[in-house]
């Protein structure tokens, strides 16, 4: 017998063991998003809404996939997956408020469309970059594996978004780690206006699965029963035998990418062909033909759904526009930094604050970081470390050497070279209530994960109240002859991104205490560690766990002649110059750039009247510019001399040692200090 083609299966419904109640419930779930869509298009034509991404023609995939999951399993949808939200029982009134930017929506008016999530409904919304949610799915699935929970995660993507690097990275990680994820590709033939022939060359995505060493399944995406039956079986399979599966759902988009873009770029005959495969009309016709559904019952279901929509619309339209309040808006950027005892078996409470160093053993910076990391692993049993070569090898700088033996490979994980997917996985772990650390092999390589850090980790709490309990360790800095790709000071890439905290210690004592604070903080922390200080800087470090609060600068030395405000390696350069010149310098070590201790900065400037801003980063757009603006705005009348900035040249970091020494500000610092002192 010749097997049915995918085209045949779009129209052939197999009842199997499903009873009438199930078939009717499926119909209700399938028709509901269609009725909502029809109403949205009507409102759009009337000018009552501003934008709409239509999923007409693709409802069977979203509805069938959601039905295939358990209520406590996560699903990560995209633009055309309204059926996910409705099938999960999310109230239409709240959904419409979300689309209209009202305060009662899921993101308080801060987002539109489906760019939000809901922990209550186990839905994690997308961002406009399309691909990064796949890495998050990896992290959620990893949490299920680590917790030994038999669960499946579903994440959606379109055929166009499979061209993004995030798709490759996330699918590859899932395959390597045997993560229970169903990657649902809605192949509707177009990425906005670009047809598949200009997106990829393989015949089907099932073929692509082979390259990742994973299974691939192709489904008739317009057949609700085929979608549900297949995905329910696959979900059961990966719960029992954890692994990823690539699922290609063949479908078609009957409207534009969004309504304003239109559909002129699509051949007319395609609409005629796919109009005959309408998932709602065909399923409805099949139910009527077999007596499962009557005309009266159909009309009753549709009328009930329409009445509910109209009632909810009335209330949503009556709701006033949100009122901008600076305190509230800024207050929601970060999650409150408090201990949640439900998240960890231990600790019992906050770490003690900064202890005395009296009698504390001398440690190198690298040893202090290693100790703080190990003690954080002990305090937080659900903390997972991830990074390239961090397991048996111990990392590029050997900070995690011996950790596999102490904490096991589940918690100390080597990763493929895919920074974006691993950062996404770290966020996924956080969504499941865990903690994660990712070690960048070098801070320079973080550019591979900028979207995840600046658009997912940083914004997610502001968008829908989900914290990102992630620490990104960043070996940074020059002075070791490593050239332009292993020596950058790139802290300013993150200082300007609301939602991130940026930490940059200069001593072993601070490195341990600030690192342990980072792991107690529920927000994403970019933790910079200067490579040249790892083994060259020693200092007393208490052996017990302790914390140093973020946002508290350290007065390294009190003086009256001028202030040097700096951080990282600059602290040691400033200290050396003070000793060499004998000038009575007030030296301030910022320790954290976000949050910033403005009070200590201004107090020092007001005391001395002269200020030099020192950092290793390049001069233009370096942190000194921000500090200069703050000082000029709030302490101008206290200045006795122009503000001086000393920083690296505005070039990439050169390789040759003589060139690198010329690039760095250390050789120019003494002259600048003496000029300022003599002003």
Confidence tier at 349 by pLDDT (50, 70, 90): low
C-alpha span between 150 and 180 (Å, rounded): 9
Residues 35-59 pLDDT 10s: 999 998 899 889 888 778 888 899 9
What is the rounded distance in angstroms from the CA atom of residue 135 to the CA atom of residue 462? Answer: 20
The domain locations on the chain are: 25-258+265-316, 362-540, 555-677
Residue-level pLDDT at 191: 66
> What Å distances lie between residue 181 and 175, 223, 348, CA to CA?
9, 22, 34
Q: In the β-sheet with 611-618, what is the strand arrangement from edge to edge? A: 554-557, 585-589, 562-566, 611-618, 644-648
How much is the mean pLDDT over the chain? 93
Strand partners, 412: 385
Among 427, 446, 445, smallest CA distance to 436 is for 427
Structure tokens at 448: 């591979």
**CATH, domain 362-540, list 2.40.50.140, 3.30.56.10, 3.40.50.970, 2.40.160.20:** 3.40.50.970
Classify domain 555-677 by CATH number.
Answer: 3.40.50.920
**pLDDT for the residue 606:** 98
What is the structure's pLDDT at 1?
62
- Distance, CA of 552 to chain centre: 27
- Determine whether 486 is an active site residue: yes
Nearest to 274 by CA among 252, 256, 259, 258: 252
Q: Evaluate whether 534 touches 364 at the Cβ level (below 8 Å).
A: yes
Q: Omega of the bond prior to 595 within 30 degrees of 0, cis?
A: yes
**What pLDDT digit, counting tens, does each position of 278-301 carry?**
999 999 999 999 999 999 999 999
Out of 115, 486, 530, 572, pick the active-site residue: 486
Is pLDDT above 90 for 80? no
Give DSSP secondary structure letters for 240-253. HS---EEEEEE---
CA dist., res. 314 & res. 312, Å (int):
5
Q: Torsion angle, CA of 387/389/391/396, rounded to 10 degrees? A: -100
Q: What is the pLDDT of residue 483?
A: 93
Q: What is the topology classification, in CATH, of domain 25-258+265-316?
A: Rossmann fold (3.40.50)
Confidence of residue 346 (pLDDT cuts 50, 70, 90): very low
Residue 343's pLDDT band (cuts 50, 70, 90): very low
Burial code (b: 16+ CB inside 10 Å, e: under 16) for 95-125 equals bbbbbbbbebbbbbbbbbbbbbbbeebbbbb
Dihedral of CA atoms 257, 261, 262, 263 in degrees, nearest 10, equals -60
pLDDT (tens digit, 9 = 90+) per residue, 456-514?
A: 999 999 999 999 999 999 999 999 999 999 999 999 999 999 999 999 999 999 999 99
pLDDT of residue 347: 53
Q: Which of 112-116, 381-385, 429-433 has the lowest mean pLDDT?
A: 112-116
Report how far residue 505's alpha carbon sits from residue 15's, in angstroms, rounded to the nearest whole number.
64
> Is residue 135 a contact partner of residue 416, using CB atoms and an 8 Å limit?
no
In angstroms, how far is CA 464 from the centroid of its own chain?
Answer: 13
Structure confidence at residue 231 (pLDDT): 98
Q: 416-447: per-residue pLDDT in tens? A: 999 999 999 999 999 999 999 999 999 999 99
Domains 362-540 and 555-677 share a fold: yes
Residue pair 277/188 in contact (Cβ under 8 Å)? The answer is no
| CB 461 within 8 Å of CB 500 | no
DSSP 213-260: T-EEEEEETT-HHHHHHHHHHHHHHHHHS---EEEEEE---SS-SSGG
State both tokens at 238.
């990966």
Residue 340 has pLDDT above 70, yes or no: no
Q: Is the pLDDT of residue 610 over 80?
A: yes
């Amino acid at each position: 017998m010749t097997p049915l083609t995918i085209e045949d299966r779009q129209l052939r419904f197999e009842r199997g063991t499903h009873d009438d109640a199930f078939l009717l419930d499926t119909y209700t779930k399938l028709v509901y998003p269609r009725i909502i869509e029809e109403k949205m298009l009507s409102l759009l034509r009337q000018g009552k809404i501003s934008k709409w991404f239509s999923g007409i023609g693709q409802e069977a995939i979203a509805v069938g996939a959601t039905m295939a999951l358990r209520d406590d399993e996560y699903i990560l949808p995209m633009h055309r997956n309204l059926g996910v939200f409705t099938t999960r029982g999310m109230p239409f009134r709240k959904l419409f408020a979300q689309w209209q930017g009202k305060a009662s929506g899921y993101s308080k008016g801060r987002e539109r469309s489906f760019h939000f999530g809901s922990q209550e409904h186990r839905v994690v919304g997308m961002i406009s970059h399309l691909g990064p949610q796949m890495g998050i799915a990896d992290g959620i699935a990893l949490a299920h594996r680590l917790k030994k929970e038999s669960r499946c995660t579903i994440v959606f993507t379109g055929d166009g978004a499979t061209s993004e690097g995030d798709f490759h990275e996330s699918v590859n990680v899932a395959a390597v780690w045997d993560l229970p994820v169903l990657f649902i590709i809605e192949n509707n033939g177009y990425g906005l206006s670009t047809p598949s022939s200009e997106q990829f060359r393989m015949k089907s995505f099932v073929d692509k699965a082979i390259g990742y060493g994973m299974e691939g399944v192709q489904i008739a995406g317009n057949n609700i029963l085929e979608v549900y039956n297949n995905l329910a079986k696959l979900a059961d399979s990966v719960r029992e035998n954890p692994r990823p599966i690539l699922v290609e759902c063949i479908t078609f988009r009957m409207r534009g990418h969004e309504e304003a873009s239109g559909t002129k770029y699509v051949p007319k005959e395609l609409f005629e062909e796919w109009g005959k495969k309408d998932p709602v009309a065909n399923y409805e016709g099949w139910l009527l033909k077999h007596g499962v559904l009557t005309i009266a019952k159909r009309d009753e279901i549709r009328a009930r759904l329409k009445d509910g929509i109209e009632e909810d619309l009335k209330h949503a339209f009556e709701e006033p526009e949100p009122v901008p309040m600076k305190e509230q808006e800024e207050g929601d950027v970060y999650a409150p930094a408090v201990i949640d005892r439900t998240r960890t078996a231990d600790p019992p409470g906050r770490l003690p604050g900064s202890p005395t160093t009296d009698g504390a053993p001398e440690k190198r910076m690298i040893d202090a970081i290693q100790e703080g990391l190990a003690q954080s692993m002990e305090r937080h049993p659900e903390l997972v470390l991830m990074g390239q070569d961090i397991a048996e090898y111990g990392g590029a700088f050997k900070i995690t050497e011996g950790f596999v033996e102490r904490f096991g490979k589940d918690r100390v994980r080597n990763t493929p070279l895919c920074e974006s997917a691993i950062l996404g996985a770290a966020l996924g772990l956080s969504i499941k209530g865990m903690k994660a650390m990712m070690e960048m092999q070098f801070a320079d390589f973080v550019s591979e994960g900028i979207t995840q850090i600046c658009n997912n980790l940083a914004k997610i709490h502001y968008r829908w109240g989900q914290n990102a309990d992630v620490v990104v360790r960043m070996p940074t800095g020059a002075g070791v002859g490593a050239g332009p790709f292993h020596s950058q000071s790139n802290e300013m890439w993150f200082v300007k991104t609301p939602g991130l905290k940026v930490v940059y210690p200069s001593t072993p004592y601070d490195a341990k205490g600030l690192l342990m604070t980072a792991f107690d903080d529920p927000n994403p922390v970019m933790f910079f560690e200067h490579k040249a200080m790892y083994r060259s800087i020693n200092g007393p470090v208490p052996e017990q766990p302790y914390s140093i609060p973020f946002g508290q600068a350290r007065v390294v030395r009190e003086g009256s002649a001028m202030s040097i405000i700096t951080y990282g390696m600059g602290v040691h350069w400033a200290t050396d110059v003070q000793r060499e010149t004998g000038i009575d310098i007030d030296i301030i070590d910022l320790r954290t750039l976000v949050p910033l201790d403005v009070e200590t900065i201004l107090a020092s400037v007001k005391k001395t009247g002269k200020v030099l801003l020192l950092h290793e980063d390049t001069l233009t757009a370096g942190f000194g510019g921000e500090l200069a603006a703050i000082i000029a705005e709030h302490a101008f009348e206290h200045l006795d001399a122009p503000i001086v900035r000393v920083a690296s040249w505005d070039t990439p970091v050169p390789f040759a040692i003589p060139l690198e020494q010329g690039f760095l500000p250390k050789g120019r610092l003494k002259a600048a200090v003496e000029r300022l002192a003599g002003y």
